[in-house]
Chains A and B, each alone.
Chain A
Amino acid sequence: MAAFNYTSPGLGNVGSYQVSGKPFVSGGLDLSNQPDSTPFVINFPTVTRWLVVTNHDTTSDGDVKVAFSEDGFGSNNYFTVSRDANDYGDTMTARLELKVTKLYLTGTCTNCDVIAGLTGIDTGSIVNNWAGTKGVG
């Protein structure tokens, strides 16, 4: 008997980005022992629809750097989420609508969160999380 099986949606499947995401949260991250040469890596189970990074650290030197490849830190393809200076700093990114499979974090932050909305798209549809491309490093 013939069987009909749905295949996994592809990277350009519009509907996967129009529905709300499946939640992914990694909170209370301590990056104080993560130099640029050894970043903390978050592996998303599926391709992201969006992501947000929050820095709750209030110490004098508690920034977090965020990149999409390990080499991004050496090539200035990263952005910084500053510490929560005096408890009223700008410490949360906007909702970044990016399709990625990994996130690389370094810095001295002792308390940061990563929140993401996930699609149902397999991570295998993005080879190396865009590593080596312009703007990622």
Chain B
Amino acid sequence: MSVFNHGAAGIGNVGSYQVSGKPFVSGAIDVNDATVAGTPLEITFPSVTRWILVRNLDNSADNSKTIKVAASATGFDNNNFFTLNDDYSGTFIRKSTTPRLELKLTKIYLTGSSTKVDVIAGLTNIPINTIPDNWEGSDGVG
């Protein structure tokens, strides 16, 4: 008897990005400790993301607890990264949370001196092998 099995959704499957995501949280990350040797911290998602959000909850008086976020390890060398300030200086509030970034990724990379960072993501069911190398080498990723 023949059996019909649905295959996994592909990277361009619209419905996978229209439904809400499966939760993924990596919280209270000490980026300063994790990157002390100069190697960025790599977070690998179990499936392709529908969106991500990064928060820097550390605080300082001189904005010294910032983090940098990239989609590839080499992105830090090519200016293909963005910076997230720490939270509070005592006189004004800094922008310490990204908006909900609707990006399809399998990894993100963090460096910096913050000791308290949260990464929250909504996941699709799309397998990570549909994005070889997490866009590494492409323009804007590095």
Interfacial residues, chain A to chain B (CB-CB below 8 A): 11-14, 16-18, 48-50, 65, 67-68, 72, 76-80, 82, 85, 88-90, 94-100, 130, 133-136
Q: Mark B14-48, 1 if CB is under 8 A from A, else 0.
A: 01001111111111110000000000000001100
B27–A135 CB distance below 8 A: no
Could you say which residues of chain A place their CB within 8 Å of the CB of B88? 85, 89
Which of B73-81, B103-111, B120-128, B133-141 lies at the interface with chain A? B120-128
Give the total of B residues in contact with A, Cβ under 8 Å: 33
Could you say which residues of chain B place their CB within 8 Å of the CB of A94? 53, 97, 99-100
Could you say which residues of chain A place their CB within 8 Å of the CB of B87? 82, 89-90
Q: Given A82-B57, A90-B93, answer yes or no on A98-B23 (Cβ-Cβ < 8 Å).
A: yes
A101 → chain B closest CB, angstroms: 11
B51–A72 CB distance below 8 A: no
B45–A97 CB distance below 8 A: no
B100–A96 CB distance below 8 A: yes
A127 → chain B closest CB, angstroms: 12
Across the two chains, which residue of chain A brings its CB closest to B18? A14
A76–B27 CB distance below 8 A: yes
Could you say which residues of chain B place their CB within 8 Å of the CB of A67? 25
Of B23, B45, B55, the contact of A100 (CB 8 Å cutoff): B23
Across the two chains, which residue of chain A brings its CB closest to B51? A97
How many angstroms between the C-alpha atoms of A49 and B50 in the bound complex? 14
Across the two chains, which residue of chain A brings its CB closest to B118? A79
Cross-chain pairs A/B with CB under 8 angstroms, 6 sampled: A68-B25, A79-B25, A80-B57, A94-B100, A97-B51, A99-B21
Please tell me if B113 contacts chain A, counting CB pairs below 8 Å: no
B24–A76 CB distance below 8 A: no
Of A17, A48, A82, A96, the contact of B120 (CB 8 Å cutoff): A96
How many angstroms between the C-alpha atoms of A72 and B19 in the bound complex? 23
Could you say which residues of chain B place their CB within 8 Å of the CB of A97? 20-21, 50-51, 100, 122
Q: Given A133-B46, A134-B24, A135-B24, answer yes or no on A80-B118 (Cβ-Cβ < 8 Å).
A: yes
